[in-house]
Amino acid sequence: MDGHDLLDALRGTTEFESAGDSPQQTASVSRRSPDTIPPDLSGCVTHVTAGNRKMPVLKAMSTTACERNCYYCPFRAGRSAMKRQSFSPDDMAQGFMALYRAGAVEGLFLSSGVIRGGVTSQDTIIDTGAILREQYGFQGYIHLKIMPGAERDQIQAAMRLADRVSVNLEAPNANRLQAIAPVKQFDDELLTRLMWINELRRDSDGRLNASSTTEFVVGPAGEPDVEILSTTDFLYQQAGLARAYYSAFRPVLDTPLENVMATDPTRQLRLYQASFLLRDYGFGLEELPFVDDGNLPLHTDPKRAWAEEHLVHTPLELNTASRRELMRVPGIGAKSAARILRARRANTLRTGSDLRQAGLTNVNRITPYVLLDGRRPNQQPRLF
């Protein structure tokens, strides 16, 4: 199988998986041979951040056939509108390597439908990864999906091969999952596997370093944001989760949820922003600005909503604030906080010009929430 054959078979089947930072409509970046790259990779390639750059990663499935009947899923059993494709580990590895050598992709995300149980489907995924690593000597990025009900030894084998593994919870708890995927078992098949990944990583003396992620389908089970983010926070704290993905529900024809309203994509964005506050900015779940229905406000990002409540009337003194306090100010992230800490060691910060000289580019966004040497900084008027 060559790369064109693989892409023709995969096209339109992998758009429902969130495996990277910013899915692309086309893959325009080539390492070597732009003339050999198929012109349309829509839905087959995502871009994953590695270090300071993004690399194109092929999204693939060992099979699009599935014996499960999840209500939201385009691959559910009995849905005639979905084309069914299956690939042997040899064919998948061969097709991927053709794309890699052509410069179209630099890594692989491999998932699968469930056929003859999760254990059998997991074997196919592991075998593909083993062929790439051991037969082809591929040393690049591999992300392997962990199937519902996979055995502990299989997870360990996948972690030896992969840079990242993932278990999709789909919903924040067992009751919500029952509403959209009644055959799946939240604790026994899914959550336990995420906990195993963390245990294997922790107990491996550095031999198993694969990071772990999960994904939630947002909306169709009627769950509020506080439930999703409560589970997200638990996984960050107790399961060593590297990242949670959120997929705004889109109704799919010929499924039990085809007439359910699509979820506002803005809600998906707010969940990502709140998730990063929990993971990277030192926020606790109880500090997130949920409204009465347990959801985040859609009209503004959660960090700004928190600041409007806590910092507008009691602004933060930038010359004495800790790093953790600085990162609670809208417009200040890890890099900006480091620049402020470095600049104030040399001189007292007194004006917006001092902040710009320190390397901050969004001073107007910061000024409503801070003090500089005891005074509110003047806000520079917009030119346009």
281 and 193 together in one domain: yes
Q: What is the CATH number of the domain that holds 335?
A: 1.10.150
**In this structure, what are the phi and psi dihedrals at residue 196, rounded to the nearest 5 degrees?**
-60, -40
Report if residue 381 sits inside a domain: no
On whether both 325 and 238 belong to a single domain, the answer is no
Is residue 82 assigned to a domain? yes
Q: What is the tens place of the pLDDT at every residue in 86-124? A: 999 999 999 999 999 999 999 999 999 999 999 999 999
On whether both 344 and 238 belong to a single domain, the answer is: no
Indicate whether 36 belongs to any domain: yes
Per-residue confidence band for 30, with pLDDT thresholds at 50, 70 and 90: very low
Q: Which of 2-16, 188-202, 222-236, 367-381 has the lowest mean pLDDT?
A: 2-16
Host domain of residue 136: 3-287
Helix (H) or strand (E) holding 238: helix 225-238
Q: What are the tens digits of pLDDT across the range 164-203?
A: 999 999 999 999 999 999 999 999 999 999 999 999 999 9
Residue 302 lies in a domain: no
105 neighbors 56 (Cβ within 8 angstroms): yes
Q: In what order do the strands lie in the sheet with 211-218?
A: 45-50, 53-61, 107-111, 141-145, 164-166, 211-218, 243-248
> Which tens digit of pLDDT belongs to each residue from 235-294?
999 999 999 999 999 999 999 999 999 999 999 999 999 999 999 999 999 999 999 999
Q: Is residue 174 in some structural domain? A: yes
Q: Is residue 214 domain-resident?
A: yes
Higher pLDDT, 85 or 161: 161
- Mean per-residue pLDDT, 8-26: 58
Longest dimension (CA), the chain: 69
With respect to residue 378, please indicate whether it lies within any of the assigned structural domains.
Answer: no
CB count within 10 Å of CB 344 equals: 18
Q: Are residues 228 and 159 in the same domain?
A: yes
More confident residue, 81 or 205: 205
Regarding whether 282 and 319 lie in a shared domain, the answer is no
Note the pTM of the prediction, 2 decimals.
0.90
Note whether 263 and 326 are same-domain residues: no
Cα separation, 155 vs 132, whole angstroms: 17
Note whether residue 243 is domain-resident. yes
Number of independent structural domains in the chain: 2
Residues 248 and 352 reside in one and the same domain: no
Both 257 and 340 in one domain: the answer is no
